[in-house]
Structures are given as C-alpha cells and as structure tokens.
C-alpha cells in the first residue's frame, strides 16, 4: 500500500544545514497548524507552540542551548526559525511530554511535505528551567508553570539530506 503521505513519512530526514533565507509566513502557518492538530491525550491540547524568527532571540536561544550542551557551535544548525514546544509539568499533566512530542513530529512531517527542512532539537527543558528561560517564557506570553519539551530547527535545507538508513531486522512484529 502506498500514497503521498506514506511516501513523505518514509522520505523525511533531519536537516542539519540550513540556508539563511527566512521561510514564508504561509509556510510557517502550515507547519504551526499541523502542530496544533496533533493528537493530544484526552483532547486536552496541553502543548504551547512558540515560533521564533526574531534574530536576537534566535541568537539567545542558540547560546542558551549551546551552554546546556557544553559547546560553542549552533545546536540549531543555522536555521532561521526555531519552533519551541512547551507543556505542563508532569505533576500537573503526566502526558505533557508525549503530547508535545506528537506536536513536534507533526510539524516535522508537515515541514517536509511542503519542502522545508527540520530537525528535532533537545535541551529546552534545561534551557527554560533557568531564570533567563523563565523570563523568555514570560516575554512569549506563556502561562506560569510550563516546561520546555523540545523544538524544531526550521528552514530551507542547504544540502540534500542523507538517504534513509536500512531499517533493522524485526523492527516490527505482528501478533494475531
């Protein structure tokens, strides 16, 4: 069985080199809408999505993430847009990380479907648990008590992604 969606899911790859050119507002809206329509436990819609294109804030996020990672480079691979996903803390909503992960996955698949590159980036929880991170969350207009779940680097790929790795034997099992 095959169709455009299944083909896109097989072909999507993480992009780790982006052009400096900013994506269009229409492209960004399509990606954000895909995130907003991701399934969430009990339909709660717990995640919060923040797209950052402001160069100064992008640079701040790059620095913060690099500090958590203990490096000097750009953990967002030069992407002009960073899309952050936040959610409730586990003691408030135990499914927050799962819900946010589905949002991130939907956005990455949507990005690929419209010709954009993306890459899941981690360490947002550590970044936004700092005082600097909490101040940014207030600046973004987010409610108190959220945590960073993850983000995607988003933009136009500067190089063709690598072909998919061969899938491991016995990856899937069917029990009837």
Q: Where are the alpha helices (DSSP H) in 37-143?
A: 55-69, 96-113, 124-128, 131-139
**How large is the average pLDDT for residues 5-27?**
95
**How large is the average pLDDT for residues 47-54?**
98
Helix axes 96-113, 25-36, angle to 10 degrees: 140
Q: Give 147's Cβ-side CA count (13 Å radius).
A: 19
| Torsion (CA) 117, 19, 136, 152 in degrees, nearest 10 | 10
The whole-chain average pLDDT of the chain stands at 96
Quick one: which of 76, 89, 96, 93 has its CA closest to 152? Answer: 76
The fold for domain 4-155 equals NADH Oxidase (3.40.109)
Residues 99/47, Cβ–Cβ less than 8 Å: yes
Q: How far is CA 99 from CA 20, 38, 43, 109, 156, in A?
A: 30, 8, 10, 16, 26
- 24-34, pLDDT tens digit by residue? 999 999 999 99
pTM confidence score? 0.95
- 87-109, pLDDT tens digit by residue? 999 999 999 999 999 999 999 99
Q: List the chain domain ranges.
A: 4-155
pLDDT at 157: 98
């Amino acid at each position: 069985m095959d169709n455009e969606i299944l083909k896109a899911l097989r072909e999507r790859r993480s992009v780790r080199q982006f052009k400096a050119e900013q994506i269009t507002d229409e492209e960004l809206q399509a990606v954000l809408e895909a995130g907003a329509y991701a399934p969430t436990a009990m339909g709660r819609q717990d995640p919060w999505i923040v797209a950052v294109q402001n160069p100064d804030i992008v640079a701040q996020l790059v620095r913060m993430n690099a500090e958590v990672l203990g490096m000097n480079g750009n953990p967002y691979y030069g992407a002009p847009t960073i899309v952050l996903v936040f959610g409730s803390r586990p003691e408030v909503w135990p499914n927050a990380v799962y819900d946010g992960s589905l949002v991130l996955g939907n956005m990455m698949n949507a990005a690929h479907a419209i010709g954009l590159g993306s890459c899941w980036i981690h360490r947002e929880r550590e970044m936004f648990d700092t005082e600097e991170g909490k101040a940014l969350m207030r600046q973004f207009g987010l409610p108190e008590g959220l945590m960073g779940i993850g983000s995607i680097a988003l933009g136009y790929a500067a190089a063709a992604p690598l072909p998919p790795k061969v899938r491991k034997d016995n990856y899937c099992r069917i029990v009837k």
